[in-house]
Amino acid sequence: MTMKYFAYGSNLNQDHWNSWCHEHGFDGSGLRPLAEVTAAVLPDYELSFSRRSQRWNGGALNLVPSPGNAVEGVLFEFTDLRIRDALDRKEGVKCGAYERREVIVLDDWGGATPAFTYICPTASPAPYFEPSEEYVQVVRQGLEEFDLDTTALDLAAAGKPARLFENALFCCGDLMRGENGFGVLRSHGVSCALLADVRGRLVDLGENAAMIGCLDGETEVHGDFFRVNNFRAAVQQLDRRFCFVGYGAPNSLFERRLTEVHVGDGRVRRAWTYIYMASDGDIVPSGCWRTRRSMHGDVIGRIVDEHLGESPEAVFREIRRQHPWRRSAADMAGLPRTKRQLRHFLATGQFSERKLAQASNIWTAFCSDPLHERGECR
């Protein structure tokens, strides 16, 4: 039987792990990074030095609940149960230092993998124990070994508040601009809104649309990418809205996942999205809820109008200025020169809203006056 283990602390450091195993009579070579998904994310937790370790003469890393946040680490696998015995002993399970917990680990492609990790139950708010430099260095070397960011470690080691792992959302149904539910996001503050795509399939649920699966590389779902200011509060409200009660919970209608979002021009951003866990609903071949409801043209028109504002020529000049290498008539034909062309290019994906926002310096177009409030989506 293959087992999967999520590492976030000193066990990331392979030299340290192998040295400990050798010293305590274990063969640690059977613990291997998962080939398909090495870097992984544990959702709704953050790092904390909330446990004191005698062995390290200071604080040791722990995981504390933090809805809307996440901890980056590495997913390992093994088949020999003696590896689990070694991990249990190293983490002090028998003496109550840490508990082995079953968790769900996410990747950037929408996947969710059952695994286990080690957590020390602690009070709330979690206490802080200053770690030794030796321990921090061991963890830092482990993170760097897998090309992982060390910012979360540095903040936790200094006893500072954790930085939010990601404040972005991808929406493909009634939370998009122009839809009835967009006010939910707007109430939490939107600092960026862009037309975007993800891998997956869209289903029609009648009054709303939902995405199923992020791993289908042959189909796309079209929607909006948002950065939300008050992200934690937004996620708590959206979890309730989508009936998401926890990872692996059988009564969750949706599950919050991470996915790679294409925002245009080859740029990819990571964002949270909600995946429909049921099997009903009709597939939307276009992958676009706006097209399904004959709203796509109206929404694109409003987005273009707000980007152009009262000085459309200034925006078109900036677009041309940002593409100085396009000198020939053929090259210039690839750039929009009129409002009508811009709407067409944006609607067909020939020109990204990201480039338009760079030219207009407006990153929240069509975020203040939804179509439904003006009676145009009836």
Domain membership flag for residue 120: yes
DSSP 182-220: HHHHHTT-EEEEEEEEEESEEEE-SSSEEEE-S--TT-E
User: Which of 120, 135, 157 is where one domain is finished?
Assistant: 157
More confident residue, 235 or 331: 235
Domain membership flag for residue 163: no
Asked if 110 and 185 sit in the same domain, the reply is no
Asked if 230 and 150 sit in the same domain, the reply is no
pLDDT band (50, 70, 90) for residue 325: low
- Does residue 56 have a pLDDT over 50? yes
- Does residue 182 have a pLDDT over 60? yes
Number of domains in the chain: 2
Asked if 178 and 147 sit in the same domain, the reply is no
**Residues 211-223: what's their mean pLDDT?**
79
**Residues 354-376: what's their mean pLDDT?**
78
Which tens digits make up the pLDDT trace of 299-317?
999 999 999 999 999 999 9
pLDDT of residue 368: 85
User: Among the listed ranges 23-27, 43-47, 210-214, which one has the minimum average pLDDT value?
Assistant: 210-214
User: Which of 100, 124, 157 is where one domain is finished?
Assistant: 157
Q: Does residue 246 come out as left (phi exceeding 0), alpha (psi in the -120 to 50 range) or beta?
A: left
Asked if 288 and 181 sit in the same domain, the reply is yes
pLDDT of residue 123: 86
Which tens digits make up the pLDDT trace of 219-264?
899 999 999 999 999 999 999 999 999 998 999 999 999 999 999 9
Domain membership flag for residue 46: yes
Domain membership flag for residue 162: no
CATH no. for residue 219? 3.10.490.10
pTM exceeding the 0.85 threshold for the entire prediction = yes
pLDDT of residue 301: 97
Asked if 298 and 318 sit in the same domain, the reply is yes
pLDDT of residue 162: 95
Average pLDDT score, the chain: 92
User: Which of 137, 157, 177 is where one domain is finished?
Assistant: 157
Asked if 151 and 250 sit in the same domain, the reply is no
Asked if 332 and 302 sit in the same domain, the reply is yes
Asked if 230 and 127 sit in the same domain, the reply is no
Asked if 13 and 49 sit in the same domain, the reply is yes
Domain membership flag for residue 320: yes
Asked if 144 and 251 sit in the same domain, the reply is no
Asked if 173 and 288 sit in the same domain, the reply is yes
Domain membership flag for residue 116: yes
Distances in Å between the Cα of 81 and the Cα atoms of 21, 24, 77, 89, 136 are 14, 16, 11, 13, 29
Percent of the chain whose predicted confidence (pLDDT) is above 90: 86
**Residues 171-188: what's their mean pLDDT?**
96
Token pair for 241: 């809205």
Residues spanned by the domain of 237: 168-374
Domain membership flag for residue 366: yes
Asked if 94 and 212 sit in the same domain, the reply is no
